[in-house]
A and B are shown apart, each in its own frame.
Chain A
């Protein structure tokens, strides 16, 4: 059945090998089961990839997915990029804000599924139904900002929105990001690497269509009510005022989960030097927002002091500010912003890059590596010029240091050997984001069970993980879809979805869809060999007590970890080993996965 509303009913299938682009119709039933974004991407990924497939092979797909609410009045400005991660070898998905997603929806597509590999660099230009493969040879090697500007200049249209990769993606650094709107990044797990492996430099899109709505009035009423919740929710008033930079200080003084010096502590009194107050005093000049968003969490400013004077940058945001700031002991705002800007321009994931730098700094401290191993770049805590040099070398995989850093902490630890493994903070190969689970234990659930690995975007309890799966599939932003939590949560979504799509979804079906998405993502990972043994936090966080800060002495105990696992598996109907049971698969209409999952269950 063709969808009645909310969706255009088709995705764009692009094959870069033969340079073909054709629409593929998706039925309403499929949408209702997998919603869109991450969910739909997981469905495509499961179907088109075999177990242990090479994520960088030409036939490996990358899906740029939007959901039913994108392009409507509802504030849903995000896009999910779904692929098999070259960084971790498991499910990869990353969300990005900015104006690209709505533009893609308005062009009449619910997503773009790209496969194949172009012989020469290309970029895609999509204007409604028209799809062009354009020569990207002049763009190859350019940084993300220059690429964006060059494409706008070539197309002579200021309204085109661009998602592109930088040199890191071209050079196949496994944690390369896809950058949208200059400052927004689908950073995690290496989407940019997959794009680079296909010689796809960028996607430019412009759309002028209208998202069909089945019942206009009830939808607008529900969307406006949801919008009002987002505006009025007190927690988001702080985000509106301070951006996520406000969290830098609150996580240090209050929560005690500010990652500091490669997870040695969560106490960083110098945070005042790079926090929101300092940023406001010296740096911020503009608030910027995604489409129709009342939160305007992005803050842009100009550095007007020191060696990086004149730099126009966005930030610091919580994750970038922590991982390249306190985690590397950088207590200078200008240097921090320069490091963030360098990662964005080169197309690197700031979270992973920050982890790698902090990891290397600690290893030097502990004499597990020497400066000679880093081509004599004198990397020390808080040394911004050395960091910038190494960020650049990483993006180009230049020299011994560049080659080493491009591996990410898990494979770096293997290569370095000795007890470097203890200081490598990752789950399933993906470096943790900037919340220390010793100080903020619920966040540990997101890291341990997130489908992509150490991801902070997967909820802080078993039920909220389901809500996150929905948010990533719809594809909304947590700052506006972070509706009050409780029994009233699903109706906020379904009140919008039902009149929009002509459905009659009840709470239970909503939960089932969320569980289906999480379970399918899990099945994908199970097929890659993931089970209970991998759903654990890094050893350091479970043995080393926090030495100071508000949560002094805190540690994630083995019992706590076991309880988290048991609760999580029970909620989703997975067995003791974390493998979805046959009944669960049947209940969630995932019978097609049974044959491939069965061998992984214990007899």
Chain B
């Protein structure tokens, strides 16, 4: 069933603002989202969008990852891919994406929401000038100024992070930020590779750039785990 749905999904242009806002609304209303989304994104308007594609992405468009949490198998291949890309080693403890397993049953992928202004981590940063910067390319929060960041002496951004995403680098003490690999996230590719044969990937390529899964936004990790646990009790077939 999921495979079919995936086939029907159309890759929507990533940086088209009006469309993004519209879909974001759609996700807020429908938690399940998928079916509605499939219905809207028929191939027809895509042609129109392709023609209207702006040359420079507008400044207020952020790159996000989109995680359909219920498909996460907890394989951590996203963590592997992330550390391989940024540190050239397999080391999940420095990855800018985390998978937390609860009760041995549910797995919660924890991703950066790339919050709108004012981003809580930037707001919480006590240094002058503020050490946490937005990437001017796509406005996502991507890096820290290692000269000004207080590193292990300060915990403000980690405490302020609403998705509880920020973690500390085990060697340097600096917080680890997600740069979405300049728009081509390795974690999404790795997730896609792991999935298949009756299981859809958790990190959705076709929904990247549209935003964080709004159905899950403002949900803490532990609450997300409880949601996923409750979801087990709904009728559905074969873990899909």
Q: In whole angstroms, what is the CA distance A299 to B199 when docked?
A: 12
A286 is an interface residue with CB less than 8 A from chain B? yes
* A301 engages B90 (CB within 8 Å): no
A291-B104 contact given A71-B90, A73-B90, CB 8 Å threshold: no
Enumerate chain A residues within 8 angstroms of B231, measured Cβ to Cβ. Answer: 285
Interface centre among A149, A294, A301 (most CB of B within 10 A): A294
Interface centre among A216, A302, A314 (most CB of B within 10 A): A302
Contacting B at CB under 8 A, from A286-338, are: 286-294, 296, 299-302, 304, 312, 314
Q: Nearest A residue to B221 by beta-carbon distance?
A: A158
B117 is an interface residue with CB less than 8 A from chain A? no
A253 is an interface residue with CB less than 8 A from chain B? no
Number of A-B contacts (CB under 8 A): 108
A293-B232 contact given A99-B101, A208-B170, A284-B238, CB 8 Å threshold: no
Binding stretch for chain A, among B28-36, B75-83, B140-148:
B75-83
Tell which of B88, B197, B236 touches A241, judged by Cβ atoms closer than 8 Å. Answer: B197
A210-B89 contact given A284-B238, A286-B239, A287-B199, CB 8 Å threshold: yes
Tell which of B75, B84, B239 touches A284, judged by Cβ atoms closer than 8 Å. Answer: B239
* A216 engages B93 (CB within 8 Å): no
Tell which of B90, B93, B232 touches A286, judged by Cβ atoms closer than 8 Å. Answer: B232
Enumerate chain B residues within 8 angstroms of A294, measured Cβ to Cβ. Answer: 75, 77, 193-194, 196
Tell which of B75, B94, B105 touches A291, judged by Cβ atoms closer than 8 Å. Answer: B75
Q: Nearest B residue to A299 by beta-carbon distance?
A: B239
* B107 engages A280 (CB within 8 Å): no
* B105 engages A300 (CB within 8 Å): yes
Q: In whole angstroms, what is the CA distance A9 to B230 when docked?
A: 45
Contacting A at CB under 8 A, from B144-174, are: 170-171
Enumerate chain B residues within 8 angstroms of A287, measured Cβ to Cβ. Answer: 73, 199, 239
B91 is an interface residue with CB less than 8 A from chain A? yes
Q: State how many angstroms separate the Cβ of A347 from the closest Cβ of chain B.
A: 14
Q: State how many angstroms separate the Cβ of A244 from the closest Cβ of chain B.
A: 15
A158-B239 contact given A292-B76, A312-B232, CB 8 Å threshold: no
A73-B84 contact given A287-B239, A289-B75, A294-B75, CB 8 Å threshold: yes
Q: State how many angstroms separate the Cβ of B136 from the closest Cβ of chain A.
A: 32
* B100 engages A158 (CB within 8 Å): yes
A240 is an interface residue with CB less than 8 A from chain B? yes
Q: State how many angstroms separate the Cβ of A18 from the closest Cβ of chain B.
A: 30
* B102 engages A158 (CB within 8 Å): yes
* A149 engages B103 (CB within 8 Å): yes
Q: State how many angstroms separate the Cβ of A74 from the closest Cβ of chain B.
A: 9
Tell which of B80, B94, B103, B104 touches A292, judged by Cβ atoms closer than 8 Å. Answer: B80
A457 is an interface residue with CB less than 8 A from chain B? no
- Encoded as 1 (CB less than 8 Å from any A CB) or 0, chain B from 196 to 240 comes to 111100000000000000000000000000000101110111110
For the complex, would chain B's binding face be called helix, strand, loop or mixed by DSSP majority?
loop
Contacting B at CB under 8 A, from A127-177, are: 145, 148-149, 158-159
Tell which of A145, A159, A209 touches B100, judged by Cβ atoms closer than 8 Å. Answer: A159
Tell which of B73, B92, B93 touches A296, judged by Cβ atoms closer than 8 Å. Answer: B73
* B104 engages A240 (CB within 8 Å): no
Q: State how many angstroms separate the Cβ of B159 from the closest Cβ of chain A.
A: 15
Q: State how many angstroms separate the Cβ of A182 from the closest Cβ of chain B.
A: 3
A293-B75 contact given A71-B90, A280-B237, A302-B232, CB 8 Å threshold: yes
Q: In whole angstroms, what is the CA distance A275 to B106 when docked?
A: 23
A281 is an interface residue with CB less than 8 A from chain B? yes
Q: In whole angstroms, what is the CA distance A145 to B100 when docked?
A: 17
Q: State how many angstroms separate the Cβ of B3 from the closest Cβ of chain A.
A: 12
* A72 engages B75 (CB within 8 Å): no
Contacting A at CB under 8 A, from B55-94, are: 70, 73-77, 80, 84, 88-94
| Listed A/B pairs (24) with beta-carbon separation below 8 Å | A106-B92, A158-B100, A158-B101, A207-B93, A208-B91, A211-B89, A216-B88, A237-B197, A240-B197, A241-B198, A280-B238, A281-B237, A286-B105, A287-B199, A288-B73, A288-B105, A289-B74, A292-B75, A294-B75, A296-B75, A296-B194, A302-B233, A304-B235, A314-B104
Q: Please give 12 more A-B residue pairs, beta carbons under 8 A apart, in addition to A288-B73, A292-B76.
A: A73-B80, A106-B92, A208-B94, A216-B88, A286-B73, A287-B199, A294-B194, A299-B239, A300-B232, A300-B239, A312-B105, A314-B104
Sort A-B residue pairs by CB-CB distance and give the 10 closest, nearest first: A182-B104, A208-B170, A208-B93, A280-B238, A289-B75, A289-B73, A296-B73, A240-B197, A284-B239, A302-B232
